[in-house]
Amino acid sequence: MTSSASSAQALVARFGDLLLRYQAAIRRLQWVMVVIYACLLTVPLLLPRPTHTDYVWNNVARFAQFVFWGVWWPFIILATALVGRFWCGILCPEGALSEFASQRGAGRAIPGWMKWSGWPVVSFVSTTVYGQLTSIYQYPKPAALLLGGSTFAAIIIGARYGKAKRVWCRFLCPVNGVFGTVSKIAPLHFRVDPDGWRAGAQQQGRSNAVNCAPLIPIKTMQGASACHMCGRCSGYRGAIRLSWRNPARDIVHGSGRLASTWETVLIVPVLLGLVPAALHWSDSGLFRMIRLWLVERCLDLHLAWPLSLRLPWWILTDYPLENDVMTSVDAGALLVLLSVSVAAATIIFGIPLATCTMILRMRGRFLHHLAQALIPLGSACLFSGLLSLTVSQLRSDGVIIPYSDLFRGGIVLAAAGWSAALVFQIGALCDTRLATRMCATLIMAVPITSFSVAWIAAFLS
């Protein structure tokens, strides 16, 4: 290791030690974030709806909407990809409230049903679909209901289960799976040295255990997808240090090798299928075609109620004063569109993944390992899609960000190239023949390129 690399490693290790030293200050910062979060959720509920003369800089409700959906969520995803899950361990108000409740709660054992590995996918899909049906990005009431309801559930779970733990964050948080997946490409992680652990145990004997709030067995931790980067274990037994790493290492050689079916479901049908459709359905020509077809079928069957039935705002969007009402037909068309997008992504990426698995003579969970190569593309899709909310909100106020579409397109193309390179690297673990690995990479390059072109075209349409 060169002197500059050693200096960089020492620098980030000291930062990890600072996180440990200033845990009290981090707790105070977390409460500041709780107050900000509560204000963003509740203050817009008390104010009248913004008009066409209200802008981000002169209306509190518009400002809160922009901070939440134009700044907060897009850049949490970006930060997770760049530095890991520091948001979860240091700034997340929901996690802080859940842990606070757990410190003073009943401390019950975690039930078996809660440990089901499918919850992160099910909860993310449910909240994403519900958010689209209720127009969560446009109106404060569904945002308060969905996000506030999630926070309330986190507090209840914390008060009942575990002791000073983040049980909600570990098993039930709707974005836990997404954050864990995106963080696999982060160049920072807390590295566990097994040899150092054993040496430290011999020298120090029994030492005070670390309270790992997200319930990670830190002695055997591989990768950083579950680590909240809170810094509480920094320097423990001289074996845990915040350090730089090759961003592809965790996917190729680390936790990517242990990938499960649910992780593949989250990457392929959800991040590459559901998310693009959910973020761009209102501008989709396919949505309009599906809606028109459903309207025609209702008219043919002399069914008028699906065309006019309105449900409460907490079920379907219902703001007549804003000329924004989602009927049953609209909701049906949206659900069909989301289902079609999920099915299309599964077929478009699933068949090449299975083909590459056979070409590389991979068995067992190796298909899921290969699917991990799509994490950069899925992460770029999520970030660029959320960034479109930032761009659209600013454009509606007359603020044009130059080259924003080119920037988002460039991110997607760079991620696509990275994903293809990861396919090549993962293939080397199973087949050392260059021709075979190149063949598998070219096969996967077809859906990767097709998806990227279609995604970029959505920005420019």
- For residue 412, pLDDT beyond 90: yes
Q: Please state the pTM of the whole predicted model.
A: 0.94
Q: What is the pLDDT of residue 446?
A: 96
User: Helix, strand or coil for residue 318?
Assistant: strand
d(CA 267, CA 64): 30
Q: Which two tokens stand for residue 95?
A: 């996690």
Instruction: Return the percentage of the chain with pLDDT > 90, whole number.
Output: 66
pLDDT tens-digit profile of 327-370?
Answer: 999 999 999 999 999 999 999 999 999 999 889 887 767 889 99
- Range 389-409 burial, b when 16+ CB lie within 10 A, else e: bbbebbeeeeeeeeebbeebb
Give Cα separations from 99 to 64, 125, 133, 199, 214 (angstroms): 26, 25, 31, 32, 9
Higher pLDDT, 124 or 219: 124
Instruction: Return the percentage of the chain with pLDDT > 70, whole number.
Output: 97
d(CA 143, CA 170): 23
- For residue 96, pLDDT beyond 70: yes
Note whether 68 and 40 are within 8 A (CB): yes
- For residue 438, pLDDT beyond 70: yes
Note whether 347 and 339 are within 8 A (CB): no
Confidence of residue 308 (pLDDT cuts 50, 70, 90): confident
Q: Which are the contacts of 21, defined by CB distance < 8 A and separation ≥ 6?
A: none
- DSSP state for residue 210 in the 8-state scheme: P
- For residue 170, pLDDT beyond 90: yes
Higher pLDDT, 118 or 389: 118
pLDDT tens-digit profile of 101-132?
Answer: 999 999 999 999 999 999 999 999 999 999 99
Q: What is the pLDDT of residue 203?
A: 66
d(CA 342, CA 326): 22
Give the torsion through C-alpha atoms of 302, 305, 308, 311, to 10 deg. Answer: -160
Q: Tell me which residue of 67, 73, 68 sits closest to 87, measured CA to CA.
A: 73
User: Helix, strand or coil for residue 17?
Assistant: helix
The number of residues making up the chain comes to: 461
Q: What is the pLDDT of residue 364?
A: 66
Give Cα separations from 31 to 37, 38, 97, 265, 276 (angstroms): 10, 10, 9, 35, 34
- DSSP state for residue 108 in the 8-state scheme: B
Q: What is the pLDDT of residue 50?
A: 86
Note whether 259 and 372 are within 8 A (CB): yes
d(CA 92, CA 86): 9
Beta bridge partners of 240: 192
Q: What is the pLDDT of residue 204?
A: 62
Q: What is the pLDDT of residue 201?
A: 65
| Phi and psi at residue 188, to the nearest 5° | -115, 145
pLDDT tens-digit profile of 11-37?
Answer: 999 999 999 999 999 999 999 999 999
Mean pLDDT score of the chain: 91
- For residue 222, pLDDT beyond 90: no
352 by Cβ neighbours in 10 Å (0-12 / 13-18 / 19+) ranks as buried
